[in-house]
Amino acid sequence: MFILSNRNLLLDAQKNNYAVPAFNIHNLETTKVVIEAADELRSPIILAATPATIKFSGANFLTNIMKTAAREVDIPLVYHLDHHENIDDIKKSILLGCRSVMIDASKLPYEENVKKVKEVVKFARRYDVSVEAELGKLVGQEDDLIIEKGESQLTDPNLAVDFVERTGIDSLAVAIGTAHGLYKKEPKIDYSRLEKIRKNIDIPLVLHGASDLPDRDVKKSIARGITKVNIATELKIAFSEGVKTYFAKKPDANDPRRYLKPGKEKMKELVKEKIILCGSKNKAEVLK
């Protein structure tokens, strides 16, 4: 297949009460892990890259890895820009072939958030690119994006109506009590807020900070209308645990083809667990 936007995938997930998982990848190895796991479980898949990942791998290299990945497997594959704040970076990746973006202007005052998102939507429409934006602010750290506890802000269900209407976005990232990174204590998810948002607007809703979130909370969120679940930190941990275990046994190892393998295997197990948790297993035929 080709790289797709996430529009039709998320609308199907919304209609049928499951979520499409979005896994943050960093390079060829982690991309292959995700597509192999998704292909084996016949799940539609979103591969997400933050600005730091694009800086690390290169926009052109990464987009072409994704194009090749999409051709290698017969499942719907979305390459998605995660937490992008710079409009020029977004335009560059769209012109390279990316079809799904998140413009994160949630740190800005409301009117500026609206203005910036609208500009991205206008550009994205020309290329049939789906746009996700965030209202409210998640606490924690996502690569270079750090929000301290005092700055976090939950999504206002009434303002969400105005935001969606004025920006024309395809999906909305909500702040309902999850955080980026690992949880220091059990998170308290504001489910009544999520229900209000779901009632007020009809576009797909996105849950950020699903790493380390108890399975029952992920399931509850999906049951209440979340259609895209973002997972990043947990995958990094699984991959590095695999590599660390290998080096603990063989400290003199020096062949990346050997020492990366246990990292890939560990990460693949986790990707499969998350696909099953999201309910997207065997949903690959959704667009056929």
- Judged by CB under 5 A, the stretch of 72-80, 90-98, 200-208, 250-258 that binds Zn ion is 200-208
7 binds Zn ion (CB under 5 A): no
d(CA 34, CA 190): 30
Least distance between Zn ion and beta carbon 285 (Å): 29
Please say which residue, 214 or 256, places its beta carbon nearer to Zn ion.
214
d(CA 167, CA 159): 12
- Judged by CB under 5 A, the stretch of 65-73, 125-133, 135-143, 182-190 that binds Zn ion is 135-143
Distance set, CA 284 to CA 35, 170, 177, 206, 215 (Å): 12, 21, 30, 20, 22
> Strand 205-207 to strand 226-231: parallel, antiparallel, or no bridges (unpaired)?
parallel
Distance set, CA 35 to CA 45, 129, 231 (Å): 8, 21, 15
Q: Which of 208, 224, 272, 274 is the binder for Zn ion (CB under 5 A)?
A: 208
Least distance between Zn ion and beta carbon 108 (Å): 16
Least distance between Zn ion and beta carbon 107 (Å): 13
Contacts with Zn ion by CB under 5 A: the residue count is 2
- Judged by CB under 5 A, the stretch of 11-19, 106-114, 134-142, 150-158 that binds Zn ion is 134-142
d(CA 226, CA 43): 17
Reported residue count of the chain is 288
**82 carries an active-site annotation:** yes
Least distance between Zn ion and beta carbon 6 (Å): 15
Any idea which residue has 């779901």 for tokens? Answer: 198
**Catalytic residue among 12, 39, 82, 255, which?**
82
> Strand 20-24 to strand 3-4: parallel, antiparallel, or no bridges (unpaired)?
unpaired
Please say which residue, 132 or 156, places its beta carbon nearer to Zn ion.
132
Active site residues: 82
> In the complex, which residues of this chain contact Zn ion (CB under 5 A)?
142, 208
